[in-house]
């Protein structure tokens, strides 16, 4: 499909006849918009032909005292949505915890690696306070979250306007510490320490097994030191994988709790896709893992191919929605763009071509609180309709007649896959302090394949181990330095059975199963399987070029000192001559 082709001829999409193609808006994040605007706004949304609105149910706003729940606003909004024949997604927001939780249980606060407790606060996207909420491994806080969830679901599951549950909005450890740094990693509380030891027992079977892989000599589990530096690799990778599993388990509990009360309405959650910047697996979630248990899947996306591909891949065959389109982005210092129907077509049609089945605009009425105001709305903050509102409505008028056909159309299977691994991504951060090289590689391959109009998909460790789809003939592994042994064995089998692999230097250079660097490259037995070996390799930095040409900011101190003492330098890219 060509960019911006509004008159759609042929679209290949997933068969998803039980789900609607949704097109609508996020509307209510208490306390705005104020009640005086609700009836007129929802009436206008209905008259536009939109079929979905989203309301936030925020833990702090609803659960004001241990035994007190406030539902007056949501009750009225649900009644108005029903009156105007609108379907509703309720987005459960847990990272705005009630003040009484912290007062009753001071030890529920998350703890940074530095030892500082994270105090609840208001944030740009969580204006009512209580952010980022308690530690996910605090048992009482978990029970209180579950009680809030049960109350909301029980109250609205039977409403005629009710359509879908979104149980987690853009999950991550903490927005304030999104860019990973050793001193601000979360969470180092006693609850996480205890759970981490249990996780390690399951992973390694015994203390002896842990000692072998980590290279330690602990006499008992009480001697365990929580990882605090990234350049020891395996322990820090395990620590971050543990936190990914913690967030994955939290997602499954929320989904299960909803389904135990309401088995009629679909349940999903929506991360910002992990494309390494800004969301990443060190401080975020494993998108593939967190989709487990969802009926459908959502994402926050801006039309960037990598974001859409990540959402669709993580959905693993589920219907995928863009439930937070940020085309109306802005800030107090920057008004939103004035969007035309062509702008919406240019952004949304390629996403549909890649597998997205619907869109929710963030949001209908412009913000009026904090630094995000007065932007982010199809309407301005005063409720006036302008170019963006007209463009969004006009786009839906053109798309709506074929929406059902889109939902019924099969998705063309991918011929090429790009490999993504949370373990390798965390390793890259441990090694370099950033994701720059890996990000450039994945983005570069993605852009190349996308512009060549080749059907591609992202795949992860589990998908490779379970077996890639037969349609995939080419697998690209950008900068896959760290690898688990089962992944290497599955990769070897796939290649020897006829698959074509493009990989780079250091493939399998670090064996995550043993905690050791591989003695042959490619590592983990791939050199023997493929009949190739790296010999006499040298970093381009050692080729005697100008020292000024190599950045040394992220080098370990001893290596940086050696470069300076011996006047070593070089370039990162050299031309190849054939």
235-288 pLDDT, tens digit per residue, is 999 999 999 999 999 999 999 999 999 999 999 999 999 999 999 999 999 999
Question: What's the confidence (pLDDT) of residue 58?
Answer: 98
Among residues 375, 374, 378, which one has the least CA distance to residue 393? 378
- pLDDT score, position 410: 87
Strand partners, 165: 90, 267
Average pLDDT over residues 31-42: 98
Q: What is the DSSP letter of 369?
A: S
Question: What distances in angstroms separate CA 307 from CA 218, 277, 314, 322, 523, one per listed residue?
Answer: 42, 10, 11, 10, 30
Alpha carbon separation from 252 to 164, 173, 249, 466 (Å, rounded): 16, 16, 5, 21
CB burial of 133-143 (b: ≥16 within 10 Å; e: otherwise) equals bbbbbbeebbe
Q: pLDDT value at position 522?
A: 97
Nearest to 473 by CA among 525, 529, 413, 412: 413
For residues 182 and 303, the model is more confident at 182
Rounded Cα gap, residues 311 and 301, in angstroms? 8
Gap between the terminal Cα atoms of the chain: 37
Instruction: Phi first, then psi: give them for residue 298, nearest 5 degrees.
Output: -135, 170
- Whether the pLDDT of residue 3 is over 60: the answer is no
Contacts of 123 (CB under 8 A, 6+ apart): 131, 132, 175, 176
Half-sphere exposure of 250 (CA within 13 A, CB side): 27
Separation CA 386–CA 383 (nearest Å)? 9
Domains and CATH numbers, the chain: 22-179+246-408 (3.20.20.80), 416-537 (3.40.50.880), 538-578 (no CATH)
| Residue 535 pLDDT class (50, 70, 90 cuts) | confident
Beta bridge partners of 299: 322
Q: What is the CA radius of gyration of the chain?
A: 25
Note the pLDDT of residue 543: 66
pLDDT beyond 60 at 40: yes
Query: Judging by DSSP bridges, how do beta strands 68-69 and 63-65 pair with one another?
Result: antiparallel
Contact 338, 378 (CB under 8 A): no
Please give the pLDDT value at position 14. 41
Confidence of residue 537 (pLDDT cuts 50, 70, 90): confident
pLDDT for 303 equals: 82
Other CB atoms within a 10 A radius of the CB of residue 521 amount to 20
Q: Are 42 and 370 in contact (CB under 8 A)?
A: no
The Cα–Cα gap between 250 and 149 comes to: 13
pLDDT digits (tens, 9 = 90+) for 190-231: 999 999 999 999 999 999 999 999 999 999 999 999 999 999
Q: Are 24 and 414 in contact (CB under 8 A)?
A: no
The answer, yes or no, to whether residue 447 has pLDDT greater than 80, is yes
Instruction: Reply yes or no on whether the pLDDT at 364 is more than 80.
Output: yes
**Cβ-count burial 144-169 (b if 16+ within 10 Å, e if not):** bbeebbebbbebbbebebbbbbbbbb
pLDDT at res. 536: 82
**Predicted local confidence at residue 571, as pLDDT:** 46
Q: Helix or strand or coil: residue 474?
A: strand
- Measure the CA–CA gap between 80 and 61, rounded to whole angstroms: 20
**Mean pLDDT value across residues 119-142:** 97
Alpha-helix residue ranges (DSSP H) falling in 467-556: 485-496, 526-530
454 pLDDT above the threshold of 60 = yes
Peptide bond before residue 516 is cis, with ω within 30 degrees of 0: no
Split at pLDDT 50, 70, 90, the class of 559 is low
Contact 57, 90 (CB under 8 A): yes
Whose CA is closest to 502, among 460, 524, 474? 474
Cα-based torsion angle of the residue sequence 468, 244, 210, 204 in order, rounded to the nearest 10 degrees: -50
Say whether pLDDT at 574 is over 60: no
pLDDT at position 538: 80
Separation between Cα atoms, residue 438 and residue 420, nearest integer Å: 10
Specify whether the backbone of 393 is left (phi greater than 0), alpha (psi in -120 to 50) or beta. Answer: alpha
pTM, rounded to two decimals: 0.92
What does the pLDDT read at residue 169? 98
**CA 477 from centre of chain:** 20
Average pLDDT of the residues of the chain = 92
- pLDDT at residue 89, rounded to an integer: 98
Compute the distance between CA of residue 350 and CA of residue 347 in angstroms, rounded to an integer: 6
Write out the H or E segment, with its range, that includes residue 267: strand 267-270
pLDDT at 193: 98
Report the pLDDT value the prediction gives residue 277, as an integer from 0 to 100.
93
């Amino acid at each position: 499909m060509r960019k911006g082709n509004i008159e759609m001829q042929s679209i290949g999409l997933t068969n998803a006849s039980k789900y609607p193609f949704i097109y609508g808006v996020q509307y209510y994040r208490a306390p705005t918009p104020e009640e005086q605007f609700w009836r007129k706004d929802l009436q206008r949304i209905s008259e536009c032909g939109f079929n979905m609105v989203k309301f936030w149910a925020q833990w702090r706003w609803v659960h004001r005292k241990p035994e007190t729940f406030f539902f007056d606003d949501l009750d009225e909004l649900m009644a108005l949505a029903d009156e105007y024949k609108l379907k509703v997604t309720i987005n459960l927001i847990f990272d705005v915890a009630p003040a009484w939780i912290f007062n009753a249980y001071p030890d529920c606060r998350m703890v940074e690696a530095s030892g500082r407790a994270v105090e609840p606060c208001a944030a740009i996207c969580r204006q009512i306070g209580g952010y980022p909420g308690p530690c996910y491994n605090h048992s009482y806080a978990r029970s209180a979250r579950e009680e809030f969830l049960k109350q909301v679901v029980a109250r609205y599951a039977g409403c005629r306007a009710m359509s879908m549950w979104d149980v987690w909005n853009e999950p991550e450890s903490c927005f304030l510490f999104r860019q990973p740094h050793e001193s601000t990693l979360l969470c180092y509380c006693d609850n996480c320490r205890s759970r981490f030891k249990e996780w390690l027992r399951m992973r390694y079977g015994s203390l002896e097994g842990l000692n072998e892989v980590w290279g330690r000599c602990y006499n008992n589990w009480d001697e365990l030191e929580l990882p605090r530096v990234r350049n020891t690799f395996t322990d820090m990778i395990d620590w971050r994988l543990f936190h990914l599993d913690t967030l994955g388990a939290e997602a499954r509990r929320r989904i299960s709790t909803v389904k135990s009360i309401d088995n009629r309405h679909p349940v999903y959650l929506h991360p910002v896709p992990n494309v390494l910047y800004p969301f990443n697996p060190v401080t975020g979630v494993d998108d593939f893992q967190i989709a487990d248990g969802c009926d459908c899947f959502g994402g926050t996306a801006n039309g960037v191919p990598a974001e859409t591909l990540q959402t669709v891949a993580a959905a693993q065959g589920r219907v995928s929605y863009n439930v937070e389109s940020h085309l109306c982005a802005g800030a107090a210092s920057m008004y939103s763009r004035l969007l035309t129907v062509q702008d919406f077509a240019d952004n949304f049609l390629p996403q549909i071509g890649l597998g997205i089945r619907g869109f929710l605009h963030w949001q209908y009425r412009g913000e009026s609180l904090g630094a995000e105001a007065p932007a982010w709305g199809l309407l301005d903050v005063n409720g006036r309709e302008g170019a963006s509102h007209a463009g969004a409505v006009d786009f839906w008028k053109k798309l709506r007649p074929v929406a059902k056909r889109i939902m019924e159309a099969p998705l063309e299977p991918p011929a090429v896959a790009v490999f993504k691994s949370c373990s390798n991504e965390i390793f890259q951060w441990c090694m370099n302090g950033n994701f720059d090289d890996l990000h450039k590689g994945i983005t570069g391959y993605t852009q190349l394949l996308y512009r060549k109009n080749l059907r591609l998909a992202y795949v992860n460790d589990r998908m490779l181990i379970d077996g890639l789809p037969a349609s995939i003939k080419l697998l690209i592994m950008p900068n896959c330095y760290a690898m688990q042994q089962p992944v290497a064995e599955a990769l070897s089998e796939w290649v020897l059975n006829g698959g074509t692999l493009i990989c780079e230097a250091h493939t399998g250079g670090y064996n995550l199963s043993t905690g050791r660097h591989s003695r042959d490259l490619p590592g983990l037995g791939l050199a023997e399987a493929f009949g190739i070996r790296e010999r006499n390799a040298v970093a381009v930095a050692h080729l005697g070029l100008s020292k000024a040409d190599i950045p040394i900011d992220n080098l370990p101190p001893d290596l940086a000192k050696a470069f300076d003492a011996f006047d070593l330098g070089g370039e990162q890219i050299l031309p190849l001559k054939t």
